Amino acid sequence: MPTLTINDITVQAPEGATLLEAARTAGIHIPTLCHLPGVHAPGACRVCLVEVEGARTLMASCVTPAHDGMRVRTNSPRARNGRRDVVELLLSEHEGDCTTCARSEDCELRAIAREAGVKEVHYQGERRPTRLDHSTKGLVRDTGKCILCRRCVAVCQNVESIGAIAPQERGFGTYVGPAFHAPLSEVTCVQCGQCSLVCPVGAIGERDQVDEVWRALNDPHLHVVVQTAPAIRAALGECFGLPPGSRVTGKMVSALRRLGFGAVFDTDFSADLTIMEEGHELLARLRGALGGGPKHGPLPMFTSCCPAWIQFAEHFAPDMLHNLSTCKSPQQMLGALAKSYYAEKIGKKPEDVFVVSIMPCTAKKFECDRDEMRDSGAKDVDVVLTTRELGRMIREAGIDFTSLPDEVMDAPLGISTGAADIFANSGGVMEAALRTAYEVVTGRPLPSIQLEPVGPMAAGGVHQASIQVNDVVPAWSFLEGQTVTVAVVHGLAHARQLLEDVRAGRRSPHFVEVMTCPGGCIGGGGQPRPTTDEVRQARIRAICEEDASKPLRTSHTNPGVTQLYEEFLGAPLGERSHHLLHTHYHPRCFVAKAPQAQKATPKPCAEARPES
């Protein structure tokens, strides 16, 4: 363990630590713009400069290893001036107007400029050229605001293994973007929005659709309903200065009512419904594979709640699309029901009901726009707002969020159980499905099982568990004594690896939950910023508390869902639910052929001739 002094304080740094990490263990703050713990430390932004005794220049602390006997100053005049100069240089190229920028409230560059004591930008010169990319439904990009920290590139390549964007050109002309100067919509971007979550400035953000919702709310012909995803209640408070992990379910409901929504529904309801459909789909697939019943699709079965994962599979695993559950995501199920079951109940036509979703996710904006998502006869979900947009909307309406009273969701699509709450966490969909499936099969509650991520999760992870099934009820006798293996994945890089393992036979789980964002939806691309590991952990805890606080904690005990099946749907996997709640997927064509297939090609060169 190297011992060094930082600002005359003796610090014992962990082995292999950088100066930045050493300083943080001693509670000394050094500002950074490009550093992403556990993912990315390129030393690109130079904001973390410190003075090291004996060194010729100021050192970037995020990439300088801590050595025994080093004497470091983070606040000497030279270090402070150096940092201030760096920030001024960044500001001199930064094209953007803080008064209108969507990012101005939580912009890291703005905060750091203040912290570094910038009072004036001494450098004048050319500004970064602005290339706007509005091609996707979920994300908008503006290279003029980009400071080239490459955080987005790191998460896209390392955490999600997509590599949709990379630095292009060189020198002052450098910009971050896809290959061939193509728009994002023409490359393999899955719109997960993790880039927008880590961007320190306003260069990448969600497509702002707040005004569309205002317009709908002011339209007297429309009955506007809203649904909120499980992950919102553990994060929305952060938009109003509450600490991460504050549970604000009740305040959120009253805020939504005050915004003028005709009914406030809970995506939790359709999460419970998803479990009913997906759980029965899994049992049907298991019966086909293990019990000699009719084949109902291959194993492993993958969850289908995450739209970015679906798009990833369509791009990169077209051979595995039959392994995806055919269930729509909870958001789309609720949309379809709001415009059929609920519309019927209140005597409205599907097109007169306007469904707004509040999601922690930018890919949901893409999902609701898919052609397959119109089974109610109209677009099932009209507009998706992210947590951040809802925060802005509440502020625009002048609502004092923190002093709102607690209210409850509307029946019937607002009733939920604890199993639905945990959909927000990585491992939660799996646990919820197991709670119901285990109880259906054995008649007993599921033994305690740990599926949520623990420890660092910024780079995603994979977790496998096995459940021994004994003493089953007679209808499920083929499962007697079987061990059901499940896997939980977050971060698409881990999903890609798991797909490889499944294809190669190295792993053979029965059921796999995939969430694109590290930590699950609580760390979604549309959540409040910053989302660090500490914040993710606090949100996960809040979601678990929310689950524990509910009297009902298994999806099949949700009275609203039972009523829905009795009045409208019939049975899980029935005719009507097949039409409204299930879907199918299409391979997409943006990806080069798999490397193995190419190696087998005898003349690779012939494939790559120039267009003549």
Partner 1 sequence: MNTQEVDFTYRLWRHDGAPGELIPLLQSAQEHFGYIPRRAITYISGVTNTPESTIYGVITFYSQFRLQPMGKHRIRLCCGTACHVAGAQTLLDALRDELGVEENGTTEDGVFTLFTVACLGCCSLAPAMMINDETYGSLTPAAARKIIRTIRREENKKAEKEKSVA
Please identify every residue annotated as catalytic: 278, 281, 305, 325, 364, 367, 372, 521
Q: What are phi and psi of 324, to 5 degrees?
A: -75, 140
Cβ(109)–Cβ(201) under 8 Å? yes
Q: Which is nearer to partner 1, 162 or 231 (CB)?
A: 162
Calpha distance 343→376 (Å, rounded): 10
CB of residue 153 vs partner 1: minimum separation in angstroms?
Answer: 8
Rounded Cα distance between 16 and 12, Å, is 12
- Conformation bin of residue 83: beta by default, left when phi > 0, alpha when psi is -120 to 50: alpha
- Residue 164 or 334 with smaller CB distance to partner 1: 164
Nearer to partner 1, 146 or 359 (CB): 146
d(CA 469, CA 442): 8
Query: The tokens of 227 are what?
Result: 């649904």
Four-CA torsion 373, 374, 376, 380, nearest 10 degrees: 60
- Cα 591 to Cα 39: distance, rounded to the nearest angstrom: 25
Q: Give CA separation, 282 vs 301, 564, 579, in Å.
A: 7, 21, 18
Tell me which residue of 268, 266, 233, 229 sits closest to 251, measured CA to CA: 233
How many whole angstroms separate alpha carbon 518 and alpha carbon 595?
27
The least distance separating partner 1 from the CB of residue 610, rounded to whole angstroms, comes to: 4
Query: Closest CB to partner 1 among 371 and 607?
Result: 607
Preceding omega of 183 cis (within 30 degrees of 0):
no
Please identify, using beta-carbon distances, which residue of 199 and 299 lies nearer to partner 1: 199
Minimum CB separation of residue 593 from partner 1 in Å reads 5
Angle at 494 between CA 493 and CA 497, to 5 degrees: 90
Instruction: Report the distance separating Cα 255 and Cα 390, nearest Å.
Output: 10
198 versus 393: smaller Cβ distance to partner 1? 198
Residue with tokens 């391979």: 587
Among residues 543, 538, 537, 361, which one has the least CA distance to residue 453? 537
How near is the Cβ of 175 to partner 1 at its closest, in Å?
10
**Choice between 1 and 594, CB closer to partner 1:** 594
Site residues (vs partner 1, CB under 8 A)? 157, 162-170, 177-180, 187, 592-595, 598-599, 603-605, 607-611
Q: Which residues pair with 385 in a beta bridge?
A: 358
Q: Which is nearer to partner 1, 221 or 603 (CB)?
A: 603
**Strand 483-490 vs strand 511-515: parallel, antiparallel, or unpaired?**
parallel
Q: Report which residue type is found at 192.
A: C
H or E stretch at 354: strand 353-359
Smallest gap from residue 499 Cβ to partner 1 (A): 14
Q: Smallest distance from the beta carbon of 148 to partner 1, in angstroms?
A: 12
Provide the H-helix boundaries in 306-417: 307-316, 330-337, 343-346, 363-367, 387-396
